[in-house]
Amino acid sequence: MGKLITTTKPLIFQSKLLCFSLLYLFTTLFLALYTILSQSKCLFRSSPLDPIQDPLFSYPSSYGEHKYAVSTTRSTCTSPIFFSDYMDVVKEIKNLIKDSSSAEESSALRYMQGNAESFGGNLSTKARFSYFDHQIDNTQVPCGFLKKFPISDSDRIAMEKCEGVVVVSAIFNDHDKIRQPKGIGGKTVEEVCFFMFIDEVTMKGLEDHGMIGRESREHKIGVWRIVKVAKEELYESPAMNGIIPKYLVHRLFPNSKFSIWVDAKLQLVVDPLLLIHSLVISQNVDMAISKHPFFLHTMEEAMATARWKKWWDINALKHQMETYCEHGLQPWSPSKLPYASDVPDSAVILRRHGVGSNLFSCLMFNELEAFNPRDQLAFAFVRDKMKPNVTINMFEVEVFEQLALEFRHNLKNKRHESLLSTSTRTKRAHPGFLYVNATCCSKCQKYLLTMWDQSNH
């Protein structure tokens, strides 16, 4: 008789607890590795092959330019963006700039000239809306500058000499820190202009930190040329003064062909030439802007603005929304595609300067002067009503979070904060907030019912 052959399991498989432990360990490691890799998949080749390694500016330790960074919460990316070779991008943009000059002169907008009490003319609703249709019309468009923009002649000349790509930001009331962009190539410093607009309060803070000389007439901090604005001749609201370089960049830099607006709370970490090429040129659009991380409909943003006291006059917010509803504002729906949302995150705006983006910017500025500087509230109305249509690449939020680092605003001076609070106390909505001529309900009733009906399906 043959021997009975018996086999035994390896020791590792004899313990169920050990097997489950190993399975859990390997699963956890796999998920952790996937999460780490997913964070960088939103950007492919996000910097040149030879990014500048040396600091662009040596900050004093007292300034704290890297304090209070805001962490991002998204660990995955569903819509990555791709970058072409850096040197190829530099050459292509330089060629586009050369070829665009003569073609754009014949189709350029004509702007309203004259003098007014306010920088934008403080136009009536009827007057503002009359300029939305600009298809076969050579009418002069109101676009600010009905008062002189109070900067020095040397700054004005430098701005006019910027003929390619310009990156623009602004700090008023010392609200933020000046931060240098990261991950930029050597050619970018030569080809791109960087301008930071500030007021007297911000200037004094920079002087106190020893970052600029008190006697100098021209100032530069790293890549940023500093432009002092005499805000006393503009608007009482610092936020509204910041709207001028944000939306009238094509007028401040009349010879530039592309621009990037960056809120001063952000630090760019991707080369601006790569951004312009990937998000605007490659997509063949007039503008690129991120979708809002939470809201889809304009009214959602309006409610949040009132709820979180982002603007102090609630009745004025109501009047603004009712004006837009009365003149055709609709909730977002798939019929509005390719516009992916009605609410942007406007902290970063990329533009190709042309009729589409320039007209949009002018119309936006007029609405912001008429109501308030909360630009997300006017965005969809202007975009949907203007003719010709503006083409916009509304990219995903996770892409936006990879383009820039966000920092908290500076802590407010207690004396300044108390003065501000006494002059702009929040105005509560009057008792008839939902009624018009004692009849329920407001002019936005149809909008709200449609929006809520969509949210329930």
Distance CA 231, CA 151 (A): 10
Distance CA 231, CA 114 (A): 20
**How confident is the model at residue 44, as a pLDDT?**
67
- Residue 272 counted as domain residue: yes
- Residue 353 counted as domain residue: yes
- Residue 39 counted as domain residue: no
- Residue 29 counted as domain residue: no
- Residue 419 counted as domain residue: no
**How confident is the model at residue 38, as a pLDDT?**
45
- Residue 414 counted as domain residue: no
**How confident is the model at residue 20, as a pLDDT?**
66
- Counting Cα atoms < 13 Å in the Cβ hemisphere of 267 gives 22
Backbone torsions φ then ψ of 440, nearest 5 degrees = -70, 130
**How confident is the model at residue 42, as a pLDDT?**
75
**How confident is the model at residue 159, as a pLDDT?**
98
Query: How many domains does the structure of the chain reveal?
Result: 1
**How confident is the model at residue 454, as a pLDDT?**
77
Range of the domain at 212: 45-409+430-455
DSSP tally for the chain: helices H, then strands E: 17, 15
Flag residues of the chain having pLDDT under 70.
1-20, 22, 24, 26-41, 44-50, 68, 72-76, 101-107, 411-441, 457
- Residue 417 counted as domain residue: no
- Residue 40 counted as domain residue: no
Q: Is 181 exposed, middle or buried (0-12, 13-18, 19+ CB in 10 A)?
A: buried
